[in-house]
Amino acid sequence: MNEEDKPDVVLDAVGLLCPMPAVKTAMELEKMKKGEVIEVLTSDHISKTDLPVWCRETGNQLVDIKDDGEILKIRIRKAI
How confident is the model at residue 2, as a pLDDT? Answer: 56
CA distances for 48 relative to 3, 4, 34, 71, angstroms? 23, 22, 23, 11
CATH number of 3-77: 3.30.110.40
Give the pLDDT mean for 56-67. 96
CA angle 59, 26, 36 (to 5 degrees): 65
**Does residue 55 have an active-site annotation?**
no
48: Cβ contacts below 8 Å, ≥ 6 apart: 65, 67, 72, 74
Question: Mean pLDDT, the chain, as a whole number?
Answer: 93
Question: Where in the chain are the domains?
Answer: 3-77
> One of 14, 18, 20, 71 is an active-site residue; which one?
18
Give the pLDDT mean for 32-42. 97
Return the CA Rg of the chain.
11
Name the residue among 75, 53, 71 with its Cα closest to residue 62: 75
